[in-house]
Structure 1
């Protein structure tokens, strides 16, 4: 740390002025960007742990776990329930704990679900309630978002917050694709030679066609242990905390502002869709198209959705700084509306020939959700002053993190009742239409109350 940026107890900076050009160019930007890269790395790990369960669940029936479709959807729902609930708490922690302590200890907490899952799934007799609890604990990764994002936003001037938050959230969202893409690979071999370190014996995986093969399913969780320890070490060694302080009571003022609730709805539409569809994409492929001969491997395709959404979020974070967030949110909500309507025609399939259209419209949903994820995070720092903006970012992220919970349970209920989820896509299309109007009226139209 430069002597021109003194700290108290090695953690809290004495002052921080990102809107001052001389301060930013001379001393501030180096620490800000360093903070961004470290918190982005740890946020990516958080998303990996949060969506780890969705990648594991599709393999459980093949190794001897006897669960119904509804029970499997519940396992994908629990991280969303926990993520949203924990985000409410994490929203208020940045001004209390500071970036350094918050990121370090929140990252270490990820070891609990990682080690728990790696142990539990080695035994098909593990009770269902234990897996539900571990699925809930995976939501710690989801909770971290509402602490990491607001604390990072404190470090950057408003003109760069769309780019900075787009980078952090977008790359962090890549964690969903990473875990879904790598899981089929890492479960195919022992992490270490059994003669050196025995980290668990292989299980026998039986596919729907009756063919069997060895699988190290516990690797899907265990492989992230070292990366988590590295992330916590980097956070403790190199992060500092800006002098933005407030207690719980002082931060409640965000709930008296109507724009908090409007932005909550907009982010629920965008990130709620991203997280919700990320959690259920693989299971939807398995449930809707798995009965056809030559059905695809769900995990071979499911990672593409969050990969598209994450990439778009990074790119459009920069565009939001130049074009304005409200315009892009209009494009996002309209695109999601049309994509959801298109999806409704391919979720009650009669043959595998409809599958490419199903995947295509799903990827379009992820594409437009990614745009909205970036644009809404540009809007919030423009609508609110810095401390409130951090709180609103955390709060909206908390509500949107319930996406996997709501999507999983609603889809499970609709499929169990009528056999296909067409009604679900009609419902989300209606919600997107409402948010299209809200954004236009308050932020995007000429003469809007808060143009941003």
Structure 2
């Protein structure tokens, strides 16, 4: 039942109107008095718990990025190509789920869908816990369980679409940046803490690795428990907005907008790079800089577990900076700067990769079994020692420049998400005159369109998280360094295309007869 309306004289400062089921029907974030008196408090509370739920989603989504590197140590015999596929599958499923997850916010309410999406994380976590404790689990079963981890990737789209409704246009960049950064940090934390939780390694020597071997199921049980906490927190502490209600047909209408597809392309370059590199980085480091044939043999080179989380951490921390800079200087300008930085940094990574020496492939499974049976008799071949030692000297430069790629991708993530609502609001501001009913309706509809577009754009952008590991992984066994070189050449060329599109569509001063429909100079 909807509550009675508030008299106009009191409406500006009245508390949000509620009905049963934690629904708020009166929500006017663009009105300064309403926002200052009541709106921002409610919005911040929902933002905090949205970040928590989304953070868990990202952690579960990327749990395979690190755990795949430990599967061999736990007794599973998978090839490098199979491991890269396990890393990539959750990203593909997560990208496909982002559209229905976005539509679910308008259909069921943001708070209600946060409960459902958090509870769904129990499927991949409990499935993971069972699979890794059974040495007979076939590879295809791992692929199915990895696919369900994509539920966590869908959380991002619904969370961002929901928070977009809570904040006024002038504060969307920072709010969406914080919401996304909190989720993105889930990637860094799962990559940092999972090796410690499962007993695979300590933290830079401060914590010792477990002497009882690898126990991947420990991480799964912890995140299953946290998923229950997130579900309860959404139930008790979050709200649904009645103004966010929209039918699927009207939301999918944004598919007809050219801007939806332009921004999808740009988001592949920013977020697709962030999630793809985050997923691939542990295996990328392990295959080029680290060698340990069996767990009972001391490893040589650069241990990936100490550094794999840094890229995701830097990218996550840079995302709110990108949103803040976009609020201040315009999203398109900052996005162009981000792509320029990514082009330069990716060329730098390509240069460091060209200096690497090929590391001979690991021994065959039967040889590994002999080494495990008699580790005392094993010595690293001179060719392996020389290659790993030489590559270890290059690693600081490789890592440092690669972190710049993450930093600029994070800035671009924040700035592109500022652009999305700004684009649709710009279109709404061209309808009617200021203060007219037509303009007010257009602005409200623009928020709904932007939230729907966020889901579409997020879905397309996340496909980069699938393509990047696949590009790295396909020819690994035969010639990993050449495969890496080709991959970075392709990525650099794509960033050049994204930079040109950003400048042409959103920054280039158009001809006079096109000025009325141009987005240049309007703060996008």
Q: Same fold (TM over 0.5)?
A: yes
Work out whether residues 110 and 240 of structure 2, in 8 Å CA contact, stay in contact via their aligned partners in 1. yes
| Cα distance between partner residues in 1 of 2:272 and 2:37 | 39
Work out whether residues 76 and 404 of structure 1, in 8 Å CA contact, stay in contact via their aligned partners in 2. no
Work out whether residues 176 and 306 of structure 1, in 8 Å CA contact, stay in contact via their aligned partners in 2. yes
| Cα distance between partner residues in 1 of 2:27 and 2:270 | 32
Match of 1:194 in 2: none
| Cα distance between partner residues in 2 of 1:240 and 1:217 | 36
Work out whether residues 332 and 371 of structure 1, in 8 Å CA contact, stay in contact via their aligned partners in 2. yes
| 1:61 alignment partner, SS class | coil
| Cα distance between partner residues in 2 of 1:271 and 1:170 | 11
Q: 1:158 aligns with which of 169, 177, 180?
A: 169
My pick for the range that moved more, 77-86 or 284-293, is 284-293
Shift of residue 370, structure 1, vs aligned partner: 0.5
- Taking structure 1 as reference, are residues 213 and 230 closer, same or farther at Cα in structure 2, changes over 3 Å only? closer
Q: 1:312 aligns with which of 312, 318, 336?
A: 318
- Alignment partner of 1:39 is 2:28: no
Aligned-residue Cα RMSD (Å) equals 2.0
- Alignment partner of 1:365 is 2:405: yes
Shift of residue 245, structure 1, vs aligned partner: 1.8
- Alignment partner of 1:229 is 2:228: yes
Shift of residue 423, structure 1, vs aligned partner: 0.7
| Cα distance between partner residues in 1 of 2:480 and 2:183 | 35
| Cα distance between partner residues in 1 of 2:89 and 2:348 | 28
| 1:415 alignment partner, SS class | coil
| Cα distance between partner residues in 1 of 2:291 and 2:132 | 26
My pick for the range that moved more, 78-87 or 312-321, is 312-321
| 2:15 alignment partner, SS class | coil
Structure 1: unaligned runs, 5 residues or longer: 190-203, 206-211
- Alignment partner of 1:252 is 2:313: no
Match of 1:214 in 2: 213
| Cα distance between partner residues in 2 of 1:291 and 1:342 | 25
Match of 1:89 in 2: 100
Shift of residue 291, structure 1, vs aligned partner: 4.2
Work out whether residues 56 and 220 of structure 1, in 8 Å CA contact, stay in contact via their aligned partners in 2. no
Work out whether residues 92 and 463 of structure 2, in 8 Å CA contact, stay in contact via their aligned partners in 1. yes
| Cα distance between partner residues in 1 of 2:485 and 2:170 | 42
Match of 1:290 in 2: 290
| Cα distance between partner residues in 1 of 2:190 and 2:397 | 25
Match of 1:383 in 2: 423
Normalised to the residue count of structure 2, the TM-score between the two structures is: 0.79
| Cα distance between partner residues in 2 of 1:11 and 1:213 | 48
For residues 324-375 of structure 1, the C-alpha deviation after alignment (integer angstroms, 9 at most, x for no partner) is: 1111101110111111111112335122222112112211110100110000
| Cα distance between partner residues in 2 of 1:297 and 1:290 | 6
Larger-Rg structure: 2
Match of 1:354 in 2: 394
Q: 1:412 aligns with which of 460, 469, 473?
A: 473
Shift of residue 296, structure 1, vs aligned partner: 1.5
| Cα distance between partner residues in 2 of 1:337 and 1:47 | 26
| Cα distance between partner residues in 1 of 2:303 and 2:41 | 44
Shift of residue 416, structure 1, vs aligned partner: 4.3
| Cα distance between partner residues in 2 of 1:4 and 1:81 | 42
Normalised to the residue count of structure 1, the TM-score between the two structures is: 0.92
Structure 2: unaligned runs, 5 residues or longer: 1-12, 201-208, 293-298, 358-389, 425-445
| Cα distance between partner residues in 2 of 1:402 and 1:304 | 22
My pick for the range that moved more, 112-121 or 402-411, is 402-411
For residues 391-416 of structure 1, the C-alpha deviation after alignment (integer angstroms, 9 at most, x for no partner) is: 11111111122222111112112434
| 1:237 alignment partner, SS class | helix
Q: 2:505 aligns with which of 438, 442, 445?
A: 442
Work out whether residues 199 and 212 of structure 2, in 8 Å CA contact, stay in contact via their aligned partners in 1. no
> Larger relative contact order (C-alpha < 8 A, sep ≥ 6)?
1
Match of 1:396 in 2: 457
| Cα distance between partner residues in 1 of 2:508 and 2:45 | 37
- Alignment partner of 1:171 is 2:234: no
Work out whether residues 80 and 476 of structure 2, in 8 Å CA contact, stay in contact via their aligned partners in 1. no
Work out whether residues 58 and 153 of structure 2, in 8 Å CA contact, stay in contact via their aligned partners in 1. yes
Work out whether residues 57 and 153 of structure 2, in 8 Å CA contact, stay in contact via their aligned partners in 1. yes
For residues 175-231 of structure 1, the C-alpha deviation after alignment (integer angstroms, 9 at most, x for no partner) is: 001000001111129xxxxxxxxxxxxxx99xxxxxx85222211221112221111
- Alignment partner of 1:430 is 2:436: no
Q: 1:56 aligns with which of 58, 62, 67?
A: 67
Work out whether residues 188 and 216 of structure 1, in 8 Å CA contact, stay in contact via their aligned partners in 2. yes
Work out whether residues 330 and 444 of structure 1, in 8 Å CA contact, stay in contact via their aligned partners in 2. no
Match of 2:281 in 1: 281
Work out whether residues 115 and 235 of structure 2, in 8 Å CA contact, stay in contact via their aligned partners in 1. yes
Match of 1:197 in 2: none
Shift of residue 294, structure 1, vs aligned partner: 2.8
My pick for the range that moved more, 288-297 or 307-316, is 288-297
| Cα distance between partner residues in 2 of 1:220 and 1:230 | 16
